[in-house]
Amino acid sequence: MFETIRYDVNNGIATIRLHRPDKLNAFISQMNREVTKAVKTASSDNEVRCIVITGEGRAFCSGQDLAEVDENMDHGQVLRDHYGPMVKQIHHCEKPIVAAVNGVAAGAGFSLALACDFRLMSERASFINAFIHVGLIPDSGNLYYLTQLVGRAKATELAILGEKVSGADAVEMGLANKLIEADKWEQDVEAFAARLAALPTKAIGLIKRSLNAASDLSFEDYLEQEAQGQRAAGLTADHREGVTAFMEKREPAYTGQ
């Protein structure tokens, strides 16, 4: 089904593994399409309650494969046709998405990580907003997310100086959620994803919608959106389970419904 990525679903966790290790998982248009399709598949699969995006080999993703770039390339059209649809699919996904950043995430690889809800950093991982080094601007939603995550000052610095950010620094500046030791990488990522997969999935989707609304709507419109979201959450089986478990003084067993 896929050639540039591996996709599997285990215990409610869909793993999308970028799989061009000899190219440091650089993007070619086929990989854009396959990531888009995989996220779409996971979004509509009721079994899936958490999505993990990671890279095979020593890199997470080194950005656009420069072998695909020639002087006739219309960079804007590439974004409209390939990267835009991919980050939109991620942006509108109602399940939690974790970027398990196993190695370097550069350029559009950094943007991909930014589009996810959580970023877990391996000790070996780093971010580089490399676009400036080839005379381009950060793309695929990069600055949209970056300004929200770290504010304008830091976003400006990362975009214009294009310096490498270590995993520890990324966590420190609020760019990533967690730094994980190399020898605990696989198990800690899995534990984190499993924890997300056990949560009330529908509520997570509604929280993500509210987070998007918070930056898009006026305060009054936001409050109305929030009321509708809470109404939807209040109708879920997981809400009833949460309340029942609390009354019965036991751990809730959420189904994601």
Partner 1 sequence: MQFEFIEAAVKEKIGVIELNRPRQLNSLNRKMVSEILEAMQQFDTDDEVRIIVLSGKGRAFSAGADIDEMMEDDPVALELMNQFADWDALSLIKKPIIGAVQGFVFGGGFELALCCDLVIAARGTEFSFPEVNLGVMPGAGGTQRLTKLVGRAKALEWLWSGDRISSESALESGVINRIVEPEVLIEETMRLAGRLAKQPPLAIRLIKDSVNKAVDYSLYEGMQYERKNFYLLFASQDQKEGMNAFVEKRKPEFRGK
Minimum CB separation of residue 94 from partner 1 in Å reads 10
Number of other CB atoms surrounding residue 148 within 10 Å: 13
Q: Does 235 bind partner 1 (CB under 8 A)?
A: yes
Single-letter amino acid code for the residue at 4: T
- Region of 27 on the Ramachandran plot (φ > 0 left; ψ -120 to 50 alpha; else beta): beta
Residue 13 tokens, joined: 């966790």
Minimum CB separation of residue 220 from partner 1 in Å reads 13
- Cβ-Cβ contacts under 8 Å for 49 (sequence gap 6 or more): 12, 13, 95, 96, 196, 197, 198, 199, 201, 256
**Between residues 148 and 228, which has the closer beta carbon with respect to partner 1?**
228
Which of 7, 146, 225, 254 lies at the binding interface for partner 1 (CB under 8 A)?
225
Q: Does 91 bind partner 1 (CB under 8 A)?
A: no
Q: Does 223 bind partner 1 (CB under 8 A)?
A: no
CB 98 within 8 A of CB 48: no
Pairing of strands 104-106, 126-128: parallel
**Between residues 138 and 205, which has the closer beta carbon with respect to partner 1?**
205
Q: Does 231 bind partner 1 (CB under 8 A)?
A: yes
Q: How far is Cα 128 from Cα 101, in angstroms, rounded to an integer?
A: 12
**Between residues 187 and 228, which has the closer beta carbon with respect to partner 1?**
228
Q: Does 240 bind partner 1 (CB under 8 A)?
A: no
Which of 149, 173, 207, 232 lies at the binding interface for partner 1 (CB under 8 A)?
232
- Cβ-Cβ contacts under 8 Å for 59 (sequence gap 6 or more): 21, 24, 25, 102, 103, 104, 105, 109
**Between residues 11 and 228, which has the closer beta carbon with respect to partner 1?**
228
**Between residues 40 and 154, which has the closer beta carbon with respect to partner 1?**
40
**Between residues 162 and 229, which has the closer beta carbon with respect to partner 1?**
229
Q: How far is Cα 127 from Cα 163, in angstroms, rounded to an integer?
A: 8
Minimum CB separation of residue 44 from partner 1 in Å reads 11
Site residues (CB under 8 A) for partner 1? 92, 206, 209, 225, 228-229, 231-232, 235
